[in-house]
């Protein structure tokens, strides 16, 4: 008898699938540029066939890339199964910018690609290779559904394509892939019925186990799980202020980026007693202060809050696929006019949040999400996102600090993309690469037509903090 195979989505993975609609596209992404010279053919075109062969040879490193969603009849519960009809050509796209091929055109194309939903009938990812970028470059625009990968796992997917070796050779062809047959409808239904019978006890066990693994102490003598959940709810309740950035998102996206020196940002943080992420939040606060004031918003009376995702993988989890993050809610001192005082306030705020059990509480809550019936999960998650617990999201991902190469083509940058949900029309995510801190800003097309103004304010804010830090 042939052995069948399927894998369930976690409650957190399923939540990203459930939140998606025609306006909220729940994929993460990346935009990078490369030196096209090593991959140029004699006729001047990009050697796309060689790139395709390279990607095909690396697919076995991430089995999820050849899996699709199957739906359990009667329950609406999705599972991962091998796609017997997998066709790599559907997932790899080759295009080129029209002359002059400048960066503005690349940003505009990235926004259009991120505005398109992934086909749920196929594995949920795409790589777009874009030729004729100015400076004899090509670009890689990647997107992966958030139910398949969070930022860390998404970075691992890109990491299978590149190498620190400038002489990066073509990998040996992978053995022929044999898809594993999925279970039949009856077996999937019986498995789901059995799971739902024991799910409450399992979820409670996972929640308590997560608490005791992550938490070292509880406060005020409360049981650890209750302490963690209390801290989470304390920081997540109480809606943020309404701002011009908090409007229901439409289907179209703008994408822009900034690039700052990593060591410069690190030095600013060190002089304030904080970290790189503290400086990022301070720069975001300052940029939004000017950005909103320009729109005649009274920033002195705003409660501006940002979601800050935190990786909760253990060392053993490594870069496991799926989502393993907790969301902290960080208030931004947008009313504070002095940039250094803003930074100091954020350093103190994040220090206190790290002492709390908020991240642990989210991990406790995660297994409990799995108890919600699938048809209810979408409306519940969308209602939560539209209640404005936060005004935006700011994430920070650790990238490679050494140059990377795709078949010998040097990678110049890495600008990540964060999805938009509910009424959050702006998402910011940073990634370190070589000696830079790369900022990716994703925004609703109609709500934030002046996105580049925000980029310029971030860059100006860095210059301002650098000058102040030099005197400390």
Spatial CA neighbour of 311 closest among 398, 192, 227: 398
Domain ranges of the chain: 236-360+383-402+412-469
pLDDT in tens, 453-466: 999 999 999 999 99
Question: pTM of this prediction?
Answer: 0.87
pLDDT at 373: 60
Please give the distance of CA 260 from its chain centroid, rounded to a whole number.
20
pLDDT in tens, 24-58: 999 999 999 999 999 999 999 999 999 999 999 99
Helix (H) or strand (E) run with residue 5 in it: none
Q: Check: CATH 3.20.80.10 for 236-360+383-402+412-469?
A: no
pLDDT at 375: 60
| pLDDT, averaged across the chain | 85
* Interatomic CA distance for residues 368 and 205, integer angstroms: 10
pLDDT at 40: 97
pLDDT in tens, 72-104: 887 678 899 999 999 999 999 999 999 999 999
pLDDT in tens, 383-414: 555 556 789 999 999 999 999 999 999 999 99
Give percent of the chain with pLDDT exceeding 70: 80
- Predicted confidence band at 255 (pLDDT cuts at 50, 70, 90)? very high
User: Which value, in Å, is the radius of gyration of the alpha carbons in the chain?
Assistant: 23
* Interatomic CA distance for residues 374 and 379, integer angstroms: 10
113 and 144 in contact (C-beta within 8 Å)?
no
């Amino acid at each position: 008898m042939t052995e069948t195979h399927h894998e369930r989505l976690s409650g957190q993975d399923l939540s990203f699938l459930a939140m998606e609609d025609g306006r909220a596209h729940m994929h993460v992404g990346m935009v990078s540029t490369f030196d096209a010279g090593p991959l140029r053919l004699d006729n001047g075109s990009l050697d796309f066939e060689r790139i395709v062969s390279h990607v095909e040879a690396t697919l076995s490193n991430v089995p999820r890339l050849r899996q699709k969603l199957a739906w359990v009849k009667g329950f609406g519960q999705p599972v991962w199964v091998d796609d017997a009809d997998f066709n790599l050509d559907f997932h790899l796209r080759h295009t080129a910018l029209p002359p002059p091929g400048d960066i503005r055109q690349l940003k505009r194309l990235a926004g259009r690609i991120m505005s398109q939903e992934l086909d749920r009938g196929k594995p949920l990812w795409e790589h777009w290779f874009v030729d004729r970028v100015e400076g004899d470059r090509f670009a890689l625009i990647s997107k992966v559904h958030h139910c398949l990968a969070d930022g860390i796992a998404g970075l691992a997917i890109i990491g299978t394509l590149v190498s620190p070796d400038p002489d990066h050779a073509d990998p040996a062809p992978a053995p022929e892939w044999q898809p594993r047959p999925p279970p039949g409808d009856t077996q999937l239904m019986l498995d789901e019925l059995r799971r739902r019978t024991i799910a409450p006890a399992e979820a409670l066990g996972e929640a308590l186990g997560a608490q005791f693994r992550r938490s070292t102490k509880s406060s005020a003598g409360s049981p650890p799980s209750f302490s963690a959940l209390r801290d989470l709810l304390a920081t997540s309740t109480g809606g943020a202020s309404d701002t011009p950035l908090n409007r229901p998102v439409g289907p179209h996206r703008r994408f822009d980026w900034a690039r700052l020196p990593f060591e410069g940002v690190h030095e600013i943080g060190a002089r304030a007693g904080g970290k790189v992420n503290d400086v990022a939040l301070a720069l975001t606060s300052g940029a939004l202060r000017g950005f909103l004031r320009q729109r005649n918003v009274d920033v002195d009376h705003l409660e501006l809050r940002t979601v800050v995702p935190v990786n909760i993988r253990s060392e053993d989890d490594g870069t496991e696929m799926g989502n393993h993050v907790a969301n902290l809610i960080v208030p931004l001192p947008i009313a504070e006019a002095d940039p250094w005082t803003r930074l100091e306030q954020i350093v103190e705020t994040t220090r206190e949040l790290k002492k709390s059990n908020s991240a642990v509480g989210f991990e406790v809550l995660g297994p409990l999400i799995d108890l919600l019936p699938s048809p209810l999960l979408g409306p519940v998650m969308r209602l939560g996102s539209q209640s404005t617990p936060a005004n935006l999201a700011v994430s920070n991902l650790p990238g490679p600090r050494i140059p990377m190469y795709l078949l010998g083509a040097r990678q110049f940058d890495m600008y990540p993309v964060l999805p938009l949900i509910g009424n959050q029309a702006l998402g910011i995510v940073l990634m370190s690469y070589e000696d830079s801190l790369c900022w990716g800003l994703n925004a609703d097309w109609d709500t934030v037509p002046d996105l580049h103004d925000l980029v310029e304010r971030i860059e100006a804010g860095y210059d301002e903090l650098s000058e102040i830090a030099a005197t400390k």
